[in-house]
Amino acid sequence: MNRKFEDIKEQEDKYQLNTYAKLPIAIEHGEGVYVYGSDGRKYLDLYGGHAVALIGHCHPSVVGAVREQVGRLVFYSNVVYSSVRASVSEAIVEAAPEGIDRVYFCNSGAESNETAMKIARKFTGKSRVVAMQAGFHGRTTGALSATALGSYRSQFFPLLEGYDFAEFGSFEDIAAKIGDDTAAVILEPIQSMAGVEMADDDYYRKLRGLCTERGVLLIFDEVQTGFGRTGSWFFGDAIGVVPDIITLAKGIGGGIPVGAVLIRDFVSETIKPGEHGSTFGGGPVASVAVEATIRAIREEGLVENAREVGLHIAKGLAELDCVVRVRGRGLLLGVELRDEAKKLRDYLLERGIITGTSSNGNVLRLLAPIILKKEEADVFIEALGAY
């Protein structure tokens, strides 16, 4: 029996630490691109719970795999081998760009990014990391030290030393910021929380060449862009760029918490037992969820779908008076508006459509499941057009 929203809100506000500004709904179940509130109301979910519902809510492949695995073995650590971890390790490396030959499993994007920076420092013997202005890499101390977005960083000084920040998209600035003691450059190929900002394709290619020339590892934080969301398996696939390390999380487990780090062969061969560890990383339930997600993306052609539906949305929105422009790629889109994004988000929520905002007050952020169909996208386009 469904509980009243007011009762749920009162109980949660009383006992949970107040860390999020929440939408005035309680989601109780979901299916595909839809979620349902405690009052039974149906919502078209174009936000995916911070990009986690990559292949939709309760995808049958993930649900089936998790149910079966929970009945067999919920957990055992990396101190033993596991058939399901072995299988998913092969599956994720096969999906990765050429030259990447190993995966490390953990629990979240922040943990993935911290691991990537540890690997880079150990491999190069250097101490500094160059990150991007307006970038976001997580809320743990190490990940936050590489984050320069808004007030996330400034609230918690002092943070870790050894970080420099370059202007995203400026090759001249990044070239100047990389010094003799730089171990790595870390960036989101698309700065999602900053308002879905991205650079010209040539910037990433030139950055790849610069890092190789100077002996610096290139880390792509693909926590939000990876696994097909941008219309290619990984962001660099579409522009011919292979980073040395790729970090993943969010949607790769179809809703089950899991993070991963993909590592180039010449780096992975130097890593020894004891250098990294994560108790729950690569657990059986997470492993089957990731493999089921990979299988669904392949079998259902979801990489191509993300590309096609993303272009369809961008084309439809370009005709609306309230829209200034659309940026992003695939189904990671930022809709720059003439009005405040929060007003549009609230307007759409009243009409049964969930969207997100960003640190840019005029950008509405879309992180829809990559199973989204054009006719479902049209519901959003028509609703926005009626504003």
**Domain range list for the chain:** 5-55+301-385, 61-299
Q: What are 126's two structure tokens?
A: 């250097």
Whether 92 and 294 have beta carbons less than 8 Å apart is answered as yes
pLDDT at 33 over 70: yes
pLDDT of residue 151: 86
Q: Shortest CA distance to 192 belongs to which of 317, 347, 356?
A: 356
Residue 93 has pLDDT above 70, yes or no: yes
Residue 198 pairs in a beta bridge with: 190
CATH 3.90.1150.10, applies to 5-55+301-385: yes
- When mean pLDDT is compared across 146-155, 219-228, 292-301, the lowest value belongs to 146-155
Q: 61-299: what fold?
A: Aspartate Aminotransferase; domain 2 (3.40.640)
Q: Cis peptide leading into 158, omega within 30 of 0?
A: yes
Which residues are known catalytic residues?
Answer: 136, 221, 250
**Mean pLDDT of the region 235-240:** 98
Please give the span between the terminal C-alpha atoms of the chain, in angstroms, as a whole number: 35
Residues of the chain above pLDDT 90, percent: 97
The yes-or-no verdict on residue 368 having pLDDT over 90 is: yes
DSSP state of 356: B
The sign of the CA dihedral 19, 22, 26, 31 is negative
pLDDT of residue 1: 59
Q: Is 77 helix (H, G, I), strand (E, B) or coil?
A: coil
Nearest to 165 by CA among 148, 181, 142: 148
How far is 192 from 385, CA to CA, in rounded Å? Answer: 24
Residue 131: predicted pLDDT: 98
Q: Per residue in 120-161, pLDDT tens?
A: 999 999 999 999 999 999 999 999 999 999 888 888 989 999
pLDDT in tens, 155-212: 898 999 999 999 999 999 999 999 999 999 999 999 999 999 999 999 999 999 999 9
pLDDT at site 154: 85
Q: For 56-68, what is the mean pLDDT?
A: 98
Instruction: Report the chain's mean pLDDT, rounded to a whole number.
Output: 97
Residue among 105, 180, 116 at smallest CA distance from 143? 116
